[in-house]
């Protein structure tokens, strides 16, 4: 199968989907959990005039332009609706304008400003906001009148996002929102179970940190006539299980909005690696069940910015360009002025090339001697998976602090007798290890575990319960491999002591322990372990605070046939 291809299919009256299929887009390339590739979807809608919604990623340049020409003479494209200006959807605007400089670009006001910097040529444009409409007229063959109504959906997940609703077909075009990174030839969401996990993962990474904005957008969607299909910008189009997906967004965003304490994670879109780095922090915060709020410093209006900053429990800021333009300069001023004494503050490198030094930004932010949310996150070379791992772990540590009171009250809330009875369940003692990537981009982690249990004979399988905020959880997605190190009764205490230490974000958890590399697939084997089991994750069941991970055991070995497994006896069930 070729790595890049384009699928073109009619998916509604007078509506053609052109899906750029990127089968092998790697994990950590953009969002964190990519394992099934992704797609960049664009759409052609023909009334009496023709509109194109979004373009594609630059890497599809030739094949995408050729495909478009098979379906329409570019000179006849009247409108190009740009849902937002992220390069994976807007990468070919210049090429299209080359073919037809008369196209009118329809986008939000912010998107049009961004585009002016992105494409460096004059273009016709019209800024739209919620309630605005454009009329494509009636398609002569179908008789359907295509009329677009727009919805502003800032922060989903870019600040400049708009949704477009075609009243003629009841199709809602949302681009990133409701999307997922999943590449297949299946145009629609026929089998919900196949894509559910990726759908959730994508929400957690990109939409969850903007849960407030999701709720706002859902309210606006609720005002529309009944929706027939959601045509997303990534993955299969949502049609067969539409209610499920919309309700998922509603429910997950409601859960996230229950927290009063949120961390404001500021970023500057289109500057260095700021966008992705801020998402990694936000994802980490979300893993701990706490709330993050991503804020684009360039695109958030000053009143809103001031409110969001002053009400936050923690404020995370990026390094900014040493010579910011006037708008950004104003936003930075607003940010600094809105900081409060009791907030937790932290700063991260944007890696934008001409950043203000991180220590100088940190000291400007801490003008009231506020506490550090985490140590400055420095980036010395182009960010890779290892960098994102460090940022995510810093986010999780902060999330745990934000949720501290809630977690303590949960610990206390268990009924006493029940608690003691639960404590009589026992388990073995294990160290789970996982490792991915190579040398400079090696991502490794480890945790002590006792909630491990065999779960099948054929094939041999087991479950591990992994707390949602564990660092290693990010390396235990479906398809990932890990290793269970079985600890021995007569020699385990030093390993427990070591792995139960509190490790700073990005720390090497194996420094100071003896390990055997390249013995087992998936992670290091501890030299002092009694046995190891090399496993591959097959399924994840979501519990309230843990993921129950079911894995197939692919390989195993015992070092000492005489020794016994260390067992963990507890008195109460509300701790490990
Ligand atoms: C005896 C014992 C058993 C544990 N078992 C589990 C477990 O089964 N699952 C889990 O998620 N955490 C378990 N933990 C907690 C983690 O091992 C520990 O908090 C973790 O190493 C911290 O890693 P983190 O930085 O990723 O949070 C256990 C802790 C102890 C002391």
Query: Averaged over 142-159, what is the pLDDT?
Result: 92
Determine the atom of ligand 1 nearest the C-alpha atom of 400.
27
Query: Averaged over 537-554, what is the pLDDT?
Result: 95
Tokens representing 271 are: 């500057």
pTM for this one? 0.85
Residue with tokens 């003896």, as numbered in its chain:
514
Distance 448 CA to ligand 1 centre (A): 5
pLDDT at 212: 84
pLDDT at 31: 52
Pick from 184-193, 388-397, 409-418: least confident: 409-418
pLDDT at 412 exceeding the cut of 70: no
Distance 500 CA to ligand 1 centre (A): 7
pLDDT at 98: 95
Domain ranges for the chain: 4-255, 261-406, 416-568
CATH assignment of 416-568, among 3.40.640.10, 2.40.50.140, 2.30.110.10, 3.65.10.10: 2.30.110.10
Instruction: Determine which residue's CA is closest to atom 30 belonging to ligand 1.
Output: 576
Contact criterion met (CB below 8 Å) for 476 and 434: yes
Instruction: Determine which residue's CA is closest to atom 31 belonging to ligand 1.
Output: 576
Side-chain half-sphere of 351: how many Cα atoms within 13 Å?
A: 16
pLDDT at 28: 44
pLDDT at 27 exceeding the cut of 70: no
Query: Averaged over 93-116, what is the pLDDT?
Result: 94
CATH top-level class of 261-406: alpha beta
pLDDT at 32: 55
Query: Averaged over 160-169, what is the pLDDT?
Result: 96
Tell me which residues have their CB closer than 6 angstroms to ligand 1: 447-451, 465-467, 470-472, 499-500, 503, 568, 576
Q: How confident is the model at residue 180 (pLDDT cuts 50, 70, 90)?
A: very high
Determine the atom of ligand 1 nearest the C-alpha atom of 470.
26
- Rounded to the nearest integer, the mean pLDDT of the chain is 93
What does the alpha-carbon distance between residue 266 and residue 155 come to, in Å, rounded to a whole number? 12
- Residue 183, exposed/middle/buried by CB under 10 A (0-12, 13-18, 19+)? buried
Q: Residue 459: is the preceding peptide bond cis (ω within 30°)?
A: yes
Determine the atom of ligand 1 nearest the C-alpha atom of 466.
11
Residue with tokens 């600094």, as numbered in its chain:
336
User: Percentage of residues in the chain with pLDDT exceeding 70?
Assistant: 96
pLDDT at 23: 87
Tell me how many degrees the CA angle 270-273-278 measures, rounded to the nearest 5: 95
Q: How confident is the model at residue 29 (pLDDT cuts 50, 70, 90)?
A: very low
pLDDT at 66 exceeding the cut of 80: yes
CATH top-level class of 4-255: alpha beta
213 or 24, greater pLDDT: 213
- Residue 420, exposed/middle/buried by CB under 10 A (0-12, 13-18, 19+)? middle
pLDDT at 206 exceeding the cut of 50: yes
Distance 470 CA to ligand 1 centre (A): 8
Tokens representing 24 are: 């092998």
Q: How confident is the model at residue 402 (pLDDT cuts 50, 70, 90)?
A: very high
Residue 229: helix, strand or coil by DSSP?
Answer: strand
Sheet order of strands, 481-486 included:
443-449, 430-436, 481-486, 531-542, 546-558, 461-467, 452-456
Determine the atom of ligand 1 nearest the C-alpha atom of 472.
26
Query: Averaged over 17-28, what is the pLDDT?
Result: 80
Q: Going along 227-375, which residue ranges are E strands? A: 229-232, 262-267, 291-296, 314-318, 344-348, 371-372
pLDDT at 53 exceeding the cut of 60: yes
Instruction: Determine which residue's CA is closest to atom 24 belonging to ligand 1.
Output: 470
């Amino acid at each position: 199968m070729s790595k890049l291809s384009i699928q073109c299919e009619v998916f509604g009256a007078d509506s053609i989907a052109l899906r750029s299929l990127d089968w092998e887009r790697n994990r950590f390339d953009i969002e964190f959990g990519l394992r099934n590739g992704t797609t960049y979807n664009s759409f052609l809608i023909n009334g009496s005039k023709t509109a194109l919604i979004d373009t594609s990623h630059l890497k599809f340049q030739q094949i995408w332009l050729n495909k478009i020409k098979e379906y329409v003479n570019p000179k006849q494209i009247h409108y190009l609706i740009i849902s937002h200006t992220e390069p994976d959807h807007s990468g070919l605007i210049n090429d299209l304008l080359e073919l037809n400089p008369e196209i009118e670009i329809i986008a939000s006001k912010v998107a049009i400003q961004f585009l002016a910097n992105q494409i460096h040529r004059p273009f016709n444009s019209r800024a739209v906001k919620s309630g605005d409409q454009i009329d494509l007229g009636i398609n002569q063959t179908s008789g359907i009148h295509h009329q677009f109504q727009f919805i502003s959906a800032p922060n989903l997940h870019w600040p400049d996002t708009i949704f477009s609703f075609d009243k003629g077909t009841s199709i809602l075009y949302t681009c990133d929102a409701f999307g997922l990174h999943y590449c297949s030839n299946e145009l629609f969401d026929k089998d919900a179970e196949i894509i559910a996990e990726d759908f959730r993962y994508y929400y957690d990474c990109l939409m969850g940190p903007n849960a407030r904005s999701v709720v706002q957008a859902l309210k606006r969607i609720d005002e529309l006539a009944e929706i027939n299909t959601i045509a997303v910008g990534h993955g299969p189009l949502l049609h067969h299980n539409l209610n499920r997906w919309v309700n998922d967004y509603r429910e997950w965003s409601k859960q996230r909005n229950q927290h009063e304490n949120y961390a404001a994670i500021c970023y500057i879109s289109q500057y260095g690696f700021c966008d992705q780095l801020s998402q990694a922090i936000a994802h980490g915060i979300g893993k701990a069940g706490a709330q993050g709020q991503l804020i684009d410093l360039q695109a958030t209006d000053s009143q809103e910015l001031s409110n969001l900053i002053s009400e936050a429990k923690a404020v995370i800021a990026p390094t900014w360009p040493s010579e910011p333009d006037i708008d950004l300069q104003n936003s930075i001023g607003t940010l600094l002025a809105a900081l409060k004494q009791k907030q937790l503050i932290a700063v991260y490198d944007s890696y934008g090339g001409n950043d203000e030094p991180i220590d100088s930004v940190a000291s400007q932010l801490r003008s009231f001697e506020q506490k550090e949310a985490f140590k400055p996150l420095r980036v010395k070379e182009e960010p890779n998976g290892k960098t994102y791992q460090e940022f995510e772990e810093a986010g999780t540590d902060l999330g745990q602090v934000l949720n501290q009171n809630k977690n303590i009250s949960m610990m206390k809330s268990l009924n006493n007798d029940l608690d003691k009875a639960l404590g009589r369940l026992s388990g073995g003692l294990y160290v789970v290890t996982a490792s991915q990537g190579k040398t400079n981009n090696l991502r490794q982690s480890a945790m002590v575990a006792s909630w491990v249990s065999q779960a099948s004979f054929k094939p041999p399988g087991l479950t591990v319960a992994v707390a949602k905020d564990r660092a290693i959880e990010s390396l235990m997605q479906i398809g990932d491999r890990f290793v269970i190190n079985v600890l021995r009764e007569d020699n385990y205490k030093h390993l427990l002591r070591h792995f139960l230490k509190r490790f700073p974000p990005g720390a090497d958890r194996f420094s100071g322990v003896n390990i055997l590399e390249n013995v087992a697939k998936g992670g290091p084997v501890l030299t002092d372990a009694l046995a190891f089991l090399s496993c591959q994750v097959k399924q994840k069941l979501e519990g309230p605070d843990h993921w129950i991970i079911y894995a197939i055991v692919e390989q195993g070995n015992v070092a000492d046939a005489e020794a016994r497994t260390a067992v963990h006896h507890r008195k109460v069930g509300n701790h490990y």
